[in-house]
């Protein structure tokens, strides 16, 4: 009886030790992206699924985040992966607002959205035709920008600045600038609380199409001078939104675009970064089916993370796949 009890106890202890060892070996990967229900949330969750498929022992978690904070959390090693615009990372590297100092240890893993285009919606009944008109008429425009700490909000403010309009000007004319997530901004516009919404996203956007079924809007473009200045300030590139991308947009619209990337810390081990990217490449068909933004990409597109440097582990995965010669 004593021997049998000793044997059972030994088995339980061995199982516990094995379980502890497995738990210690299991890699926890956290990815921080955007608000729940947004494109970054769907994309981040899809990337997590590719990690789970290729690393069964890994524990993946997606956390809603805010763009500047995502960059900081990755830099500090508090999360393994993050999503942000490459152009905001550029600002982080030089310590520009909204960052308190330079952040230089963030590396690119993959491009996930090559066309985050500035799209400026105005209510048709607001009588707004251009930024020059807003300035000359001192219009009390009510503007919804994205949340603070995002490239979308920074870009919205810069669009006004390069046209000679500050937030103080807008408030002095009786208008206001609100910072909120995009869906909230569109809802405020529907309710007549906002005249203009500025954001950066792929086109045509399902969010815009859905929101504008119930209200009359138009899309403002940017003039050549504004486009050039934004390129110098933010690193954005010119882009044309083709005519009829939306039912309310009969003519082509000139604007600028940024790019969205998956980030990791320079301190992430090369083999870990390689496994993550290799999993994305292996399951690329799944990624393309998971969200319309990813559907526009091909495997070779993923390497385009400039102005970031590729993580060495990610680069190794791309070389093995023949995407970098």
The DSSP element (H or E) to which 255 belongs, if any, is strand 253-265
Report if residue 209 sits inside a domain.
yes
Whether the pLDDT of residue 308 is over 60: the answer is yes
63 and 95, same domain (yes or no):
yes
254 and 268, same domain (yes or no):
no
296 and 191, same domain (yes or no):
no
Residue after which a domain boundary falls, among 258, 287, 312: 258
97 and 208, same domain (yes or no):
no
DSSP 305: -
233 and 316, same domain (yes or no):
no
Q: How many domains does the chain have?
A: 2
98 and 220, same domain (yes or no):
no
Report if residue 293 sits inside a domain.
yes
| Rounded distance between C-alpha atoms, residue 96 and residue 226, angstroms | 20
Question: Which tens digit of pLDDT belongs to each residue from 105-157?
Answer: 999 999 999 888 999 999 999 999 999 999 999 999 999 999 998 999 999 99
The mean per-residue pLDDT over the stretch 16-40 comes to 67
Report if residue 21 sits inside a domain.
no
| Rounded distance between C-alpha atoms, residue 204 and residue 181, angstroms | 19
Report if residue 176 sits inside a domain.
yes
Whether the pLDDT of residue 11 is over 50: the answer is no
232 and 124, same domain (yes or no):
yes
> CB–CB of 282/50 below 8 Å?
yes
246 contact partners, CB below 8 Å, separation of at least 6 = 204, 208, 209, 212, 219
Report if residue 1 sits inside a domain.
no
- Residue 24 has phi, psi (to 5 degrees) of -70, -35
**DSSP string for 157-222:** HHHHHHTT--HHHHHHTT-EEEE--HHHHHHHHHTTS-SEEEEEE-SS-HHHHHHGGGS-EEEE--
237 and 128, same domain (yes or no):
yes
| Rounded distance between C-alpha atoms, residue 258 and residue 153, angstroms | 13
Report if residue 19 sits inside a domain.
no
| Rounded distance between C-alpha atoms, residue 106 and residue 94, angstroms | 12
* CA 202 remoteness from chain centre: 11
Domain CATH number, residue 107: 3.40.190.10
175 and 287, same domain (yes or no):
no
The mean per-residue pLDDT over the stretch 253-278 comes to 96
pTM, full prediction: 0.80
Residue after which a domain boundary falls, among 236, 258, 280: 258
230 and 293, same domain (yes or no):
no
99 and 132, same domain (yes or no):
no
Residue after which a domain boundary falls, among 206, 227, 258: 258
Q: Is the dihedral of CA 46, 49, 53, 55 positive or negative?
A: positive
Report if residue 14 sits inside a domain.
no
242 and 282, same domain (yes or no):
no
Q: Closest by alpha carbon to 317, among 107, 167, 152?
A: 107
**pLDDT, the chain, mean:** 90
- Range(s) of the domain holding residue 240: 116-258
The mean per-residue pLDDT over the stretch 32-36 comes to 87
* CA 242 remoteness from chain centre: 23
Report if residue 12 sits inside a domain.
no
Question: Which tens digit of pLDDT belongs to each residue from 198-247?
Answer: 999 889 998 899 999 989 999 999 999 999 999 998 989 999 999 999 99
Q: Is the dihedral of CA 4, 9, 13, 16 positive or negative?
A: positive
| Rounded distance between C-alpha atoms, residue 93 and residue 70, angstroms | 14
**DSSP string for 44-107:** HHHHHHHHHHH-TT-EEEEE---HHHHHHHHHTTSSSEEEEEHHHHHHHHHT-TT-SS----EE
| Rounded distance between C-alpha atoms, residue 82 and residue 298, angstroms | 21
Antiparallel, parallel or unpaired: β 28-32 and 59-63: parallel
Question: What pLDDT shows up at residue 26?
Answer: 55
| Rounded distance between C-alpha atoms, residue 227 and residue 238, angstroms | 6
């Amino acid at each position: 009886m004593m021997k049998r009890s000793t044997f059972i106890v030994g088995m339980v202890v061995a199982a516990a030790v094995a379980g502890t060892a497995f738990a210690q070996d299991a890699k926890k990967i956290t990815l921080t992206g955007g608000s729940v229900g947004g494109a970054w949330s769907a994309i981040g969750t899809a990337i997590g699924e590719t990690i789970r498929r290729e690393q069964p022992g890994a524990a993946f978690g997606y956390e809603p985040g805010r763009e500047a904070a995502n960059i900081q959390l990755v830099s500090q090693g508090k999360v393994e992966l993050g999503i942000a615009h490459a152009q905001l990372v550029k600002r982080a590297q030089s310590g520009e607002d909204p960052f308190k100092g330079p952040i230089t240890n963030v590396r690119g893993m993959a491009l996930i959205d090559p066309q985050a285009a500035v799209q400026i919606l105005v209510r048709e009944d607001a009588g707004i035709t251009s930024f020059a008109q807003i300035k000359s008429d001192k219009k009390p425009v009510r503007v919804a920008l994205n949340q603070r700490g995002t490239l979308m909000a920074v870009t919205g403010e810069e669009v006004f600045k390069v046209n000679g309009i500050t937030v103080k000007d807008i408030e002095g004319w009786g208008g206001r600038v609100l910072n909120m997530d995009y869906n909230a901004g569109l809802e405020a516009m529907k309710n007549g609380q906002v005249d203009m919404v500025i954001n950066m996203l792929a086109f045509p956007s399902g969010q815009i199409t859905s929101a504008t079924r119930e209200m009359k809007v138009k899309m403002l473009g940017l003039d050549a001078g504004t486009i050039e200045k934004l390129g110098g300030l933010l690193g954005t590139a010119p882009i044309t939104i083709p005519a009829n991308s939306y039912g309310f947009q009969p003519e082509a619209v000139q604007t600028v675009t940024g790019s969205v990337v998956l980030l990791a810390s320079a301190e992430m081990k090369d083999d870990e970064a390689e496994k993550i990217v290799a999993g994305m490449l292996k399951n690329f068909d799944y990624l393309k089916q998971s969200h319309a933004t990813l559907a526009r990409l091909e495997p070779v597109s993923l390497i385009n993370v400039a102005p970031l440097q590729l993580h060495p582990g990610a680069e190794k995965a791309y070389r093995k796949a023949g995407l970098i010669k």
